[in-house]
């Protein structure tokens, strides 16, 4: 019995994944098992719970946070896990990764400027760009031999023609699961220098990496033209109690961004996220290693099941992340019919592909940070729905 086999279904309705109003509005039904939002069905590691328990037992919530200790924990973690040397003086705390990206977009570009994204991509990126009145510039990813690749020719053409100031990189990439390799990142840095743009690298999924891949942070390649964002949220399943961080090695850019954040008093943590983050990064390594092993076994099980039982569905086997991107094109269904099959017949709340890019209506994303038995039931239901439909 591993740590990750226990099934919990008794969620509070305050959690987005099972909130009936949310489910009804997005899936047209509340009678679905949620695999859509990128959080976990697993209990956090014990040191996090113990630390939170200690705070609750004491019951004193004075101004006690100490971001320097948090930054040291983050820097030490990255050094050990990714051999990534980060300067603990180049961090700023933000309430979440999306907040950090929203701030950087405003600091490093002007209204009307182009922000480039590599599509299909995490849907909130579009909202961040639109709400800042910047222009979305799409650089579609290509599928080569069943794997997503960057299209550098198209990228360079867009940098030349579309007044791009920022490349919003997702590494590892949500939803396609690619962990970008060093060569790809080097090419991006080269282009960033040539066209004087900033790469904002969202590295929130960087700790969930499978055995055939190695995570490279863009920060390992350059001190200029980059900013990275990270958080313990995905790694440790702390989505609703964690903060994010911004890391900007260029001191001029760092000072400008830090001043803005401080002027709005946005750099404050709270005791819960602060102590939980330190506990996670200093005492959570074994738990994360076991988690990654568990997830990788689930990926393999899903891959085999699809191959043998529902070969009409194409799986993009991820290098990292607990998201799996599935292509249902061979079922030849309309967008509405595919949703009917998945949401109503298989009773699964998967994330529709169109969230990530308009022309991906035949795709869906499944979050696999769930006990394997729950995933096995889900895929069995999907198989039954597909067979009944043909």
Ligand X SMILES: Cc1ncc(COP(=O)(O)O)c(C=O)c1O
Where do contacts with ligand X occur on this chain (CB under 6 A)?
Answer: 38, 96-98, 122, 170, 174, 202, 204, 231, 233, 244
Please state, as a whole number, how many other Cβ atoms lie within 10 Å of the Cβ of residue 148.
Answer: 20
Nearer to ligand X, 233 or 385 (CB): 233
233 versus 315: smaller Cβ distance to ligand X: 233
Considering beta carbons, is residue 200 or 386 the nearer one to ligand X?
200
- 134 vs 365, beta carbon nearer ligand X: 365
CA dihedral 129, 130, 133, 138 (to 10 degrees): 60
Contacts of 71 (CB under 8 A, 6+ apart): 88, 91, 93, 245
**CA–CA distances in Å: residue 158 to residues 195, 271, 316:** 11, 44, 27
Which residue has its beta carbon closest to ligand X?
A: 96
Closest CB to ligand X among residues 95, 347: 95
- Minimum Å gap between C-beta 42 and ligand X is 16
d(CA 147, CA 256): 39
Closer residue to ligand X, CB minimum distance, 127 or 297: 127
Cβ closest to ligand X, residue 168 vs residue 385: 168
Check the CA dihedral 26-12-266-90 and report its sign: negative
- Min. distance of Cβ 98 from ligand X in angstroms? 3
CB of 204 to ligand X, least distance (A): 4
SS3 11: coil
At closest approach, how far in Å is the CB of 62 from ligand X? 26
Neighbours of 192 (CB within 10 A): 21
Query: What are 131-140's contacts with CB under 8 Å, separation 24+?
Result: 131/102, 132/102, 132/105, 132/106, 134/105, 134/109, 135/162, 135/163, 137/162, 137/164, 138/357, 140/357
Minimum CB separation of residue 244 from ligand X in Å reads: 4
The least CB distance from residue 356 to ligand X, in Å, is 11
- Locate the DSSP E strands across the chain: 33-34, 91-94, 114-117, 135-138, 142-144, 147-149, 164-170, 198-202, 226-230, 244-247, 314-316, 323-327, 348-349, 351-352, 363-367
CB of 240 to ligand X, least distance (A): 9
Answer whether 90's CB lies under 8 Å from 223's CB: no
Q: How far is the CB of 324 from ligand X (least distance, A)?
A: 13
Task: Using the minimum distance from each CB to ligand X, give the nearer residue, 52 or 238.
Answer: 238
């Amino acid at each position: 019995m591993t740590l990750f086999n226990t099934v919990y279904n008794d969620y509070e309705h305050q959690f987005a994944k099972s909130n009936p109003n949310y489910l009804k509005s997005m899936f047209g039904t509340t009678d679905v098992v949620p695999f859509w939002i990128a959080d976990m069905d697993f209990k956090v590691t014990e040191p996090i719970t113990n630390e939170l328990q200690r705070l609750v037992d004491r019951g004193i919530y004075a101004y006690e946070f100490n971001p320097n200790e948090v930054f040291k924990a983050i820097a030490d973690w990255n050094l050990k896990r990714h051999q990534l040397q980060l300067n603990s003086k180049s961090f700023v705390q933000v309430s979440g990764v999306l907040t950090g990206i929203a701030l950087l977009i405003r600091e490093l570009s002007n209204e009307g400027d182009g922000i480039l994204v590599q599509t299909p991509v995490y849907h909130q990126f579009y909202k961040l760009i639109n709400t800042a009145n910047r222009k979305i510039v799409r650089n579609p990813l290509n599928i080569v031999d069943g794997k997503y690749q960057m299209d550098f020719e198209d990228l360079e053409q867009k940098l030349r023609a579309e007044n791009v100031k920022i490349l919003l990189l997702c590494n590892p990439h949500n939803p396609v699961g690619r962990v970008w390799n060093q060569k790809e990142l080097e090419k991006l840095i080269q282009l960033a220098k040539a066209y004087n743009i900033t790469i904002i690298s969202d590295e929130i999924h960087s700790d969930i990496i499978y055995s055939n891949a190695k995570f490279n942070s863009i920060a390992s390649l350059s001190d200029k033209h980059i900013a990275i964002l990270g958080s313990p949220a995905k790694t440790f399943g702390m989505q609703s109690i964690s903060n994010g961080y911004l890391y900007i090695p260029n001191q001029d850019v760092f000072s400008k961004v830090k001043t803005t954040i401080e002027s709005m008093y946005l750099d404050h943590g709270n005791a819960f996220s602060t102590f939980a983050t330190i506990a996670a990064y200093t005492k959570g390594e074994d738990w994360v290693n076991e988690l990654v092993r568990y997830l990788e076994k689930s990926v393999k099980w899903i891959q085999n099941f699809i191959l043998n039982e529902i070969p009409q569905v194409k799986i993009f086997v991820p290098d990292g992340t607990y998201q799996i991107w599935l292509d249902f094109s061979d079922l030849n269904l309309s967008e509405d019919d595919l949703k009917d099959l998945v949401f109503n017949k298989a009773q699964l709340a998967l994330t529709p592909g169109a969230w990530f890019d308009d022309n991906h209506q035949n795709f869906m994303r499944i979050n696999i940070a769930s006990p394997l038995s729950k995933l096995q039931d889900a895929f069995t239901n999907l198989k039954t729905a597909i067979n009944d439909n043909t």
